[in-house]
Chains A and B, each alone.
Chain A
Amino acid sequence: VQLVESGGGLVQPGKSLKLSCSASGFTFSSYGMHWIRQAPGKGLDWVAYISSSSGTVYADAVKGRFTISRDNAKNTLYLQLNSLKSEDTAIYYCARSGYGSYFDYWGQGVMVTVSS
């Protein structure tokens, strides 16, 4: 199992960014997927979840601004980040939802910096 995030970078407040998570080594369409973030020097915060049937759930802090989606044909998970704020600055990780309702595999993370 391998998860590789991309798409991070420096973005101004109020702007948008789209993160990708390329999955390999398993049947991507059969698993729910999560995004988790970690602000510099801080702990882990769950951001969003998408089920194998594309049902979605969001943390309150990002609801209405972020959109999680998936393309099973491309084995890729996405996170669209809109109306970005400085407090969204963090490393963003994708993780697979394992049987047993835990996050069984994680990517290495991608940095998003929101600053003018």
Chain B
Amino acid sequence: QITLTQQAESLWVSPGEKVSITCRASQSLLYTDGKHYLSWYQQRPGQTTKALIYHASIRTDGVPTRFIGSGSGTEFTLSIEDVQPEDIALYYCLQTLKKPYTFGAGTKLELK
């Protein structure tokens, strides 16, 4: 199965700063259609899990433009520019290239 590694368990950030969360895959997530099957999710207490990014860089409807997905092959990044207090959450990457689908271990974004 494909392993996703989110090396940072926690990242500390002040409001207004930029932060980057990385996700490394054990094999390329590029499919023959030219798309990467990597998506990003946000988990906040008391709220449903929210999809932020799919195909590595496409924001889902309603997601603020400060959330930016990038990367290719096996290395992917979720960047949050101008972090807001409501961005404090757990973030997970997910690969849907091959079953079993697998998640990264998660990165907790915390306030300094």
- A residues sitting closer than 8 Å to B (CB atoms) are 34, 43-46, 49, 57, 59-60, 93, 95, 98, 100-108
Contact = CB atoms under 8 A, between A and B. Distances in A.
Contacts of B55: 100, 102
Interface of B: 37, 39, 41, 48-51, 54-55, 58, 60, 92, 94, 96, 99-106
Contacts of A59: 100
B99 A57 contact: yes
A74 to B, nearest CB: 22
What DSSP secondary structure best describes chain B's contact surface? loop
9 contacts: A34-B101, A44-B49, A44-B103, A102-B55, A103-B41, A103-B49, A104-B54, A106-B49, A106-B51
Contacts of B50: 106
Contacts of A43: 92, 103-106
Given A43-B105, A103-B39, A104-B60, A98 B51 contact: yes
A60 B51 CA distance: 25
Given A103-B41, A104-B51, A106-B49, A46 B60 contact: no
A22 B105 CA distance: 28
A60 to B, nearest CB: 7
Contacts of B49: 44, 93, 95, 103, 106
Contacts of B54: 98, 100-102, 104
Top 4 closest pairs, chain A to chain B, by CB: A102-B54, A102-B39, A106-B49, A46-B101
Given A100-B55, A100-B58, A45 B48 contact: no
A104 B103 CA distance: 15
Given A103-B49, A104-B54, 12 more contacts: A43-B92, A43-B105, A44-B41, A46-B94, A46-B102, A98-B54, A100-B55, A101-B54, A102-B60, A103-B51, A106-B50, A108-B48
Contacts of B60: 102, 104
Nearest to B49: A106
Nearest to B40: A102
